[in-house]
A and B are shown apart, each in its own frame.
Chain A
Amino acid sequence: MTDERIKQVSALRRAMIRPELGATAGTLLVFLFFLLIAGDSGMFAPAGIQNWTVVSAQFAIIAVGACLLMIAGEFDISVGSMIGFAGIVIAILSVQWGLPVWVSILAAFVICVALGWVNGMLVIKTGLPSFIVTLAFLYILRGLTIWLSILTTRQTIIGGVKDLVQNDWLAFLFGGVVLKDLFAWFADIGLIEKFVAGTRAGQPVVEGLPMLVVWAVVLVIFGHVLLTRTKFGNWIFASGGDAQAARYVGVPVARVKILMFMFSAFCACVFATCQVIEFGSAAADRGFMKEFEAIICVVIGGTLLTGGYGSVIGAALGAIIFGVVQQGLFFTGGESSLFRVFLGTILLGAVLFNTYIRRMITGER
């Protein structure tokens, strides 16, 4: 009898001690809340779903990079500036210099990933906290972005990308829409409404699945499998858990961390590219504060700020919570300034909860 009770408790404990636990509960609560108060506002109609899905997917893309980097024990707060920078690079190369869009996109990726490498090398070689090194790049990149933009166009917004992307194969990968036939069929069987008037009359209100969402899903699955199933994933945990202990058993800690900085920069560039193509323009102030939003998603998702523990799935759930609440307030006509109050509160709650979980794992008091 007693034995069985102990077993039950430990099974419950084991189920509880998962990094995603808090985020899973939070996601359910958030959906329940908005279903109750905004169930008939259109938030859960196809167009509404598309709205918050896209916003959540945007958060998820940068959260995956921030999550793996944080588990490896480092931060990158230059992500937001990197987003602005990548966008301006694409616009200048394609609109101003007349390069094909795909060349411009590839160039932006090469530059961003190289900047991620520089971030990582500086952190490893100087031994400075990554917070300081990437804080420097937060300013450097934002300043360069504005300067480059004004230097080439005398403006901080560069338009005209829209006309160039029309038949560009690579631009489609970031701004296109897939599964159009499936969505048309959904409309035919009445799952999705159709436009009743205007130039698009007869077409479904949701055209298809945006590539942005595909990117988010692919990156989340990639990050999750990499982290939990592969040798390299084990090294990510080890590098953030105790770099010295990891080094002693031959884990190439410096390489792992630098690669994660590069991956974080890659994710920022995916975000930037999708945004430039969606808006048809780049602006020097894009991505402002995104680094903190990414970190908030990751922390809500159960990853420890101190590294060594966390989950990409959790970070994705954090992104969903973030996106649904932000857009939900819009649908319910809630005061959008209250969104920040909510964010701060949930961040504090998540960190407290994470600390509690970590104590349960390590047995520390």
Chain B
Amino acid sequence: MSAPLIELKSIEKHFGPVIALSGVTFDVKAGECHCLLGDNGAGKSTFIKTMSGVHKPSSGEILVDGKKIAFESPRDAMAAGIATVYQDLAMIPLMSVTRNFWMGREPEKRFGPFKFIDFDKANKVTLEEMASMGIHLRGAEQAVGTLSGGERQTVAIARAVYFGAKVLILDEPTSALGVRQTSNVLATIDKVRKRGIGVVFITHNVRHAMAVGDRFTVLNRGKTLGTAKRGEVKPEELQDLMAGGKELAELEGSLGGTI
């Protein structure tokens, strides 16, 4: 397989006395979906924030296209082609789809000494990009608040892809969604992957991960418990790893195998 787009080696992150990450190694290749699984508080968000330049690692190194790099800010990571879709702050509901899509990178056209947003282009591209992700909007001027949760995720994903993401990080994109919305988002992940983008898919739902993942890494208490390829691992095993194995096995016994 090809060389990884981004590689993180033995990443540690301490918040004062709290050790959020204690040696996490992880990489993403072009065209794959690498799932990062872990229970609440396992350190998933902390880890991807390190990957996207929000946090600086306490130790460990980050390599982009094989070269060592240090992100000073999220902008640096974005410039290196690493885009993150955070679940809670993906979109501004009161603003239109177009305005959200282009926020911070509005296309302009000149009019004498003035520059205005080129809404014709902006609307056209927005509708096209959304359609390519399988969502046909009534109009690009409708407020994001009128979209469903899955459609909102898709706007954020389409935006990241359009602006040249090489690595797309999705932080629990499916956790608040219903069944149909979830399958839409999973289908979108598949489309993105087929364009040669490396997807990092964070979730604590093993079924969602199994549906699209090529590789799976489980985080537990700030450590990786290894990476498995698709087909090499069973859902139950992932579930066990996430919960720290033994305890869940005991729990499962007492609950009669319902987890």
Interface residues of A (CB under 8 A from B): 10, 14, 17, 225, 229-231, 233-235, 237-238, 241-242, 244-246, 248-251, 304, 308-309, 358, 361-364
Task: Give the most central of B89, B93, B103, B115: most A CB within 10 Å.
Answer: B103
Interface residues of B (CB under 8 A from A): 74-75, 78, 84, 86, 89-95, 99, 102-106, 108, 114-117, 138, 142-143, 145-146
Q: Is the CB of B89 within 8 A of A245?
A: yes
Whether A230 contacts B146 in the complex (CB less than 8 A), given A308-B95, A362-B94, comes out as no
Whether A363 contacts B115 in the complex (CB less than 8 A), given A238-B103, A241-B92, A250-B78, comes out as no
Q: Could you tell me the distance in whole angstroms from the C-beta of A307 to the nearest C-beta in chain B?
A: 9
Whether A251 contacts B145 in the complex (CB less than 8 A), given A230-B115, A245-B89, comes out as no
Q: Is the interface of A mostly helix, strand, loop or mixed?
A: helix
Give which listed residue, B84, B117, B138, B142, contacts A234 with CB less than 8 A.
B117
Q: Is the CB of A241 within 8 A of B86?
A: no
Q: Is the CB of B93 within 8 A of A361?
A: yes
Give which listed residue, A225, A249, A361, contacts B103 with CB less than 8 A.
A249
Q: Is the CB of B145 within 8 A of A361?
A: yes
Number of A-B contacts (CB under 8 A): 78
Q: Is the CB of A234 within 8 A of B102?
A: yes
Give which listed residue, B93, B95, B106, contacts A231 with CB less than 8 A.
B106
Jot down 20 A-B pairs with beta carbons below 8 A, ordered by A.
Answer: A14-B142, A229-B116, A230-B114, A234-B99, A234-B102, A234-B117, A235-B103, A238-B104, A241-B92, A241-B94, A242-B89, A246-B103, A248-B86, A250-B75, A304-B94, A358-B94, A361-B94, A361-B145, A362-B93, A362-B94
Whether A248 contacts B74 in the complex (CB less than 8 A), given A234-B102, A238-B103, A361-B146, comes out as yes
CA distance in complex: A363, B108 (Å)? 31
Q: Is the CB of B92 within 8 A of A245?
A: yes
Q: Is the CB of A244 within 8 A of B92?
A: no
Q: Which residues of the partner chain A approach B103 to less than 8 Å between Cβ atoms?
A: 234-235, 238, 246, 249, 251
CA distance in complex: A309, B104 (Å)? 17
Task: A17-B143, A225-B116 are known; give 15 further A-B pairs, CB within 8 A.
Answer: A14-B142, A230-B114, A230-B117, A234-B102, A235-B103, A237-B94, A238-B99, A242-B92, A248-B89, A249-B104, A251-B103, A251-B104, A304-B94, A361-B145, A362-B146
Q: Which residues of the partner chain A approach B78 to less than 8 Å between Cβ atoms?
A: 250
Q: Is the CB of B115 within 8 A of A231?
A: yes
